[in-house]
Structure 1
């Protein structure tokens, strides 16, 4: 009864125990058989969203043994190859004397590709990929590159600081406990100057609502984001000290930030 009339109706229900590893192979079998393989795009210029980044150097290691930063993420399209030159956007974000945002894209080269325990010569869409680069590890340590987009030089989309979206709000809040048969709280309409959390790709950033009209909204972002027109985003509102999903939107247009000078952020002994 719980799933009747929903998209989950007729879906297989498999009892499992992850700790005891019961029925894990059954889950894998159902995933392979029931979920269709999405069409992969191997022809377009490569694009990877960064969800983790690391400095793999141990404290006190010799200068000659220093390794570049590592970015972990999922390839959306295209093929990444070892030795390929790459660009990371928005890159290094700063402000000038007038408080204006500046974005310096990072340019580097791929030194290694790996997934789980396997070293790769090239990587295709699907699954998580670790990309070893020549980027200065200071820029990649402790997930500092999360929300950035990595891809072929000159092929990445624009950097936006303000977005105009068409949005759709949920009827009721998700994940909020209710007593008995009470229904969840209704989602209120967006209001001017309200602060939301906006998820675009792997980036979570603050957004202030500048204007609302019908199902359109203009949002000023706290951090610049590398995205494109037509991209879907998630909107969350702070409810009882927690961020709750209230709806989603699609980018219609926006105000872009022009990237400044190229920044080859490599370790000195690795520079080519």
Structure 2
């Protein structure tokens, strides 16, 4: 059986992801990069050209290597690989240019244009105009690969994992977001009348719009917990997903639920996903395990909804439960504007004319006040203006506002919005402004490099395989905090009972009595492993080597119990260094350039070679 995920683009830059299952894509077997194939395999007219692909492990195909097998080659440049120094080549694992049963993702370019109309059975597109701004933010929580992103796609029609490394590796890395309109048929009984379509799928009559919601899709991978916490700062309620085909609870299921509780998010709907993959007996046993797990937590008051996000099974009951459980909060539209930034990006395509270049875009949610086109806004903490790291707030103008209702003139609190500005797009690209706060000039608190926090420590480390007690916070200890949507590394400067003072590595715009939480790294030490592909096999070998350096024995033992995030190509160097600069951590690498960058960014390095391994602070 051959299952493929096709990512198809056209000349207008539009793209669509389509899954081929049960030998639907057998016609692609044996084709090579550059080959033209009949687009009918993807239900389109015309032809499409294969431009690349990868296997399930994210190993990329390469056009100039024949065959389909994996192999190591020496490269000086290529897709996903930074240009090496002159005369230097890098050993890299790749696949040949031929599509085989080991191939998972196939990238194609359609000769024509993708159709704008969707089929009658498709879920609503994000671009469909509902006429209303989303009024509530609903987050996803749960272990990696339990179906959070798939569920969002089934409800909104949009796959929120759109970045190249997310598509290659099949996990959510950055916080994604999408909107959906919920409709209720007045003629059908609950919950059969709930759907995401204006026409009732049961009786065919016209449904009434219940409300429009924004979904915040958080990563489930253990090493991306800080990203989940950033997204949770905007959540009014949450969907806790648990897979029916795995043991309950998995580590990140526990972590995410505890994070929601600590943040005060009590409107939670528990979902038993993937029930189509297990028998009735196993599904009931798993259901009882979930009920026992959530008992006594913020999710205990909500029924457990069994679904299959992949097959759209029982989504009407799920929507009905969301509507009855997660209420729209009362917002203050008369107060000064406060917007927390969750994403920022450059919307300009390479090669755009100077006259066509648009300013940077920031995405997030208003918690207070309103915004309209033409408003002057201030963004804090701003940007670095000196070599010493001083920050200066940014003043700019709102030139566009976007929601699921399309381009609008004004927005109010609730739901996710995109704010177009006159900023240099380079300032906003690659989520550079995540964690910032937007308000009217002169109304936001001053930037702060310190904070006083009242802490409440857990009895044991959440998500650890072994029972590990949480040690008291010590003076001088490094903690990673999430302040609003901003993850920031800090150092404890004073401890007095449950009150601590911290010094922040970079300035943050902090409101009094803001809802704070430190990441669960604080209980086990600020250790996160980012491992470039070339170092992964070497790290695995060192973990099993009894002669490894005793000074890092404990670190490697901890790594053995953790999910190691593998990073590759451009994504590796840039994302690793950004991660270390913001949050600290340990990087295992054999690359001297990356080692120097990590140290300059304040991180530690596990330096590896064939005969030794050293922890370098």
Is 2:340–2:365's contact at 8 Å kept on the other side of the alignment?
A: yes
Distance 1:71 1:7 in 2: 32
Q: CA deviation at 1:175?
A: 1.7
Say whether 1:187 aligns with 2:470. Answer: yes
TM-score scaled to structure 1, two decimals? Answer: 0.81
Distance 1:150 1:165 in 2: 23
Cross-structure match for 1:5: 296
Q: Structure 1 residues 185, 57: CA separation in 2 closer, same or farther (over 3 Å shift)?
A: same
Is 1:168–1:215's contact at 8 Å kept on the other side of the alignment?
A: yes
Q: CA deviation at 1:26?
A: 2.2
Cross-structure match for 2:382: 91
Is 2:400–2:408's contact at 8 Å kept on the other side of the alignment?
A: yes
Q: Give 5+ residue unaligned stretches, structure 1.
A: 179-183, 244-272
Say whether 1:119 aligns with 2:410. Answer: no
Distance 1:157 1:7 in 2: 32
Cross-structure match for 1:71: 362
- Residues 33-182 of structure 1: pairs in structure 2 closer than 5 A: 33-95=324-386, 99=388, 101-116=389-404, 118-178=406-466
Greater RCO, CA 8 A, separation 6+: 1
Is 2:451–2:501's contact at 8 Å kept on the other side of the alignment?
A: yes
Measured against aligned partners, the alpha-carbon deviations of 1:126-172 in whole angstroms (never above 9, x if no partner) come to 11111011111010011111111111111111211011222111122
Q: Give 5+ residue unaligned stretches, structure 2.
A: 1-291, 530-617
Measured against aligned partners, the alpha-carbon deviations of 1:201-247 in whole angstroms (never above 9, x if no partner) come to 1110100011111111110101110011211211133538449xxxx
Is 1:158–1:228's contact at 8 Å kept on the other side of the alignment?
A: no
Q: CA deviation at 1:90?
A: 0.9
Distance 2:406 2:317 in 1: 25
TM-score scaled to structure 2, two decimals? Answer: 0.37
Q: How many residues are paired up?
A: 235
Farther-moved stretch of structure 1 (55-64 vs 5-14): 5-14
Distance 1:121 1:153 in 2: 20
Q: Secondary structure at the match of 1:32?
A: helix
Q: CA deviation at 1:23?
A: 2.3
Say whether 1:23 aligns with 2:335. Answer: no
Distance 1:219 1:94 in 2: 24
Q: CA deviation at 1:45?
A: 1.1
Measured against aligned partners, the alpha-carbon deviations of 1:88-115 in whole angstroms (never above 9, x if no partner) come to 011112446xx4x522111111111111
Which of the residues 512, 515, 538 maps onto 1:232? Answer: 515
Distance 1:197 1:102 in 2: 20
What do you get for the CA RMSD once the two structures are aligned? 1.8
Distance 1:104 1:7 in 2: 40
Q: Secondary structure at the match of 2:304?
A: coil
Where does structure 1 differ by over 4 angstroms across 4 or more consecutive aligned residues? Answer: none
Q: CA deviation at 1:35?
A: 2.3
Distance 2:421 2:398 in 1: 5
